[in-house]
Amino acid sequence: MDKVGIGVIGCGAIGRIHMERFQKVPNAQVVAVADVDQAALDRAKAEYGVSKAYQDYGDLLARKDVDAVSVCLPNFLHCPVTVDAFEAGKHVLCEKPTATHTDEAIRMIEAGEKAGRKLMIGLCQRFNGSSQVLKAHIESGELGEIYYAKCGYLRRSGIPGMGGWFTTQAQSGAGPIYDIGVHALDLTLWLMDNFDPESVLAMSYAKFGPSGKGSGGWATPVPDLRGGTREFRG
């Protein structure tokens, strides 16, 4: 089988992980990258050996050898770039959260259907070993009917990327629920076979950011409960 040509759009924190992981996929090759930041492009070229690098992602989408793209951009760019990629005939793996608003998510799905291309959202926790084992146990019927679930995801300290797109609502769309919350919700709903909700009740609050607390959480060493220290991202 020919290799699938991959374009990675956004070479920041998660874009670099995509590039690294694609190196381990035998039938895929990252053939081009795009980022508005030249330093990020230079790093991608040096670290992952990608020769074609563009500041305008349109140039990447114009390449015939790009079959599929990873959209690894700030949340508010997921929809426009995904739609552009579909219009250029590419398949799309877009990072989570899908978009900043429901109508954007619908536009993305419709653009993929119109183009006859696949859309996958980077809800990667489904692929963890523990998630796969639990899913297998549930599907085998061993646990009976799953009628109640509770999920949570705790970031112990620090608000990552304070002052950047991550904490700017117009660019991120929302706070923790859009960041780590989508992983917890997706995993729970997936394990319960993605039922259709009858209703949703929710509330949100902000105890730290607005009062100036919680900055400096990016890559801050914190004590590891098992002893020693580890890098804590966020």
Ligand X SMILES: NC(=O)c1ccc[n+]([C@@H]2O[C@H](COP(=O)([O-])OP(=O)(O)OC[C@H]3O[C@@H](n4cnc5c(N)ncnc54)[C@H](O)[C@@H]3O)[C@@H](O)[C@H]2O)c1
Binding site for ligand X (CB under 6 A): 9-15, 34-37, 40, 57, 72-75, 77, 95-96, 122, 124, 179
Identify the H or E element spanning 17: helix 13-22
List Cβ neighbours of 28 (8 Å cut-off, separation of 6 or more).
3, 4, 6, 22
Least distance to ligand X, CB of residue 2, Å:
27
Measuring CA to CA, which residue among 173, 187, 7 is closest to residue 79?
Answer: 173
Question: HSE of 223 in the Cβ direction (CA atoms, 13 Å)?
Answer: 3
Q: Which is nearer to ligand X, 21 or 230 (CB)?
A: 21
Least distance to ligand X, CB of residue 65, Å:
19
Q: Which is nearer to ligand X, 5 or 160 (CB)?
A: 160
Cite the DSSP H helix spans in 69-217. 78-87, 102-115, 129-139, 169-172, 176, 182-191
Q: Which is nearer to ligand X, 67 or 95 (CB)?
A: 95
The answer for 126, left when phi > 0, alpha when psi is -120 to 50, beta otherwise, is alpha
Q: Which is nearer to ligand X, 42 or 103 (CB)?
A: 42
Least distance to ligand X, CB of residue 174, Å:
11
Least distance to ligand X, CB of residue 138, Å:
23
